Amino acid sequence: RKRVAGGLPYGWEQETDENGQVYFVDHINKRTTYLDPRLAFTVEDNPVKPTTRQKYDGNSTAMEILQGRDLSGKVVVITGANSGIGFETAKSLALHGAYVILACRNTSRGNDAVQRILGEWHKAKVEAMTLDLASLQSVQHFAEAFKSKNVPLHILICNAAVFGAPWGLTEDGLEATFQVNHLGHFYLVQLLEDVLRRSSPARVVVVSSESHRFTEIKDSSGKLDFSLLSPSKKEYWAMLAYNRSKLCNILFSNELNRRLSPHGVTSNSVHPGNMIYSSIHRNWWVYTLLFTLARPFTKSMVSE
């Protein structure tokens, strides 16, 4: 015995005709039907709960993972959401009913990303706001602007990052990779912590990397070496700077979860996978070349 469960697939709506009969509208493909599209996803009345390994694998898409989820009423902030993993995450959450804010350094690109999502579903609740993690003042302005909306915050995804960037200092006098990848997010979470607590159950997701394993931030005596976090130009190596920032992400997420989970706010750090092709390599032609050579063996974020 099977039954229909979960919400309608994204882009679908349920309507009633003049005779009181229910029908379904597919806004993506511009068609209507009296057949419930969820019949394609019927479930057993007494199913055996599958393991995560059984449900999802390397071929799974964000849309498949969220299939049947109704995120209406949930408010989500995603940094660096105008491209790559951030955009795919924002799109998937918005198409399942969440109100998604794309926190982007480039406002124009952020607005373009919003229009791309609205092009898939015109009723999606999505907007772009300016956030430059290389400026602590910009982080503060973003937090103030978000709070002025008087909405909850159920999910904060710290996704934005730079990789392979040349050495440079931010307006705050800190090495740019460290500030953009870690410190800016750290400050953002601190500024929004009160909203997260009031919105519990809520969660913070920090996008880190497996490359955190290939570095160290301690000196020879085992103490934290602050000079490694924001190194001088002479001591700078782009790959090491990225690895250190990703290690900081994980340490931060673990401690944040320890402090806030008793208040209904969880925090997790995630590794997005080694075999995903994105634009994170754009800062140096060598990395671009390597990513291009590896592309035939990577997972695309665009449906073929």
pLDDT of residue 209: 84
CATH code of the domain occupying 1-44: 2.20.70.10
Rounded distance, CA 23 to CA 35, Å? 7
Q: Is 242 a catalytic residue?
A: yes
Mean pLDDT of the chain: 85
Q: Please compute the mean of the pLDDT values over residues 222-238 and round it to a whole number.
A: 85
Strands 31-33 and 99-104: unpaired
Tokens of 201: 């159950």
pLDDT at 44 over 80: no
Residue, of 34 and 218, whose pLDDT is higher = 34
pLDDT at 274: 60
Q: Which residue of the set 23, 187, 236, 242 is catalytic?
A: 242
Q: 197: which 2 tokens?
A: 């607590």
pLDDT for 303 beyond 50: no
Inform me whether the pLDDT recorded for 304 exceeds 50: no
As annotated, the residues of the chain forming the CATH 3.40.50.720 domain(s) are 68-210+225-294
| Average pLDDT for 264-270 | 97
Measured distance CA(78)–CA(256) in Å, rounded? 18
Residue that is written with structure tokens 């519990």 in the block? 200
Residue 80 tokens, joined? 């660096």
State pLDDT tens for residues 156-211.
Answer: 999 999 998 999 999 999 999 999 999 999 999 999 999 999 999 999 999 998 76
For residues 119-138, average pLDDT: 96
Q: Which of 186-200, 209-223, 247-261 has the lowest mean pLDDT?
A: 209-223
pTM (predicted TM-score): 0.77
CATH 2.20.70.10 residue ranges of the chain are: 1-44
Which CATH number fits the domain 68-210+225-294, given the four candidates 3.40.50.1980, 3.40.50.720, 3.50.50.60, 2.40.50.100? 3.40.50.720
Residue-wise burial string across 274-303, b where 16 or more C-beta atoms lie within 10 A, e elsewhere:
eeebbebbebeeebeeebeeeeeeeeebee
- Split at pLDDT 50, 70, 90, the class of 226 is confident
CA–CA separation, 102 vs 119, rounded Å? 16
Supply the pLDDT for residue 294: 52
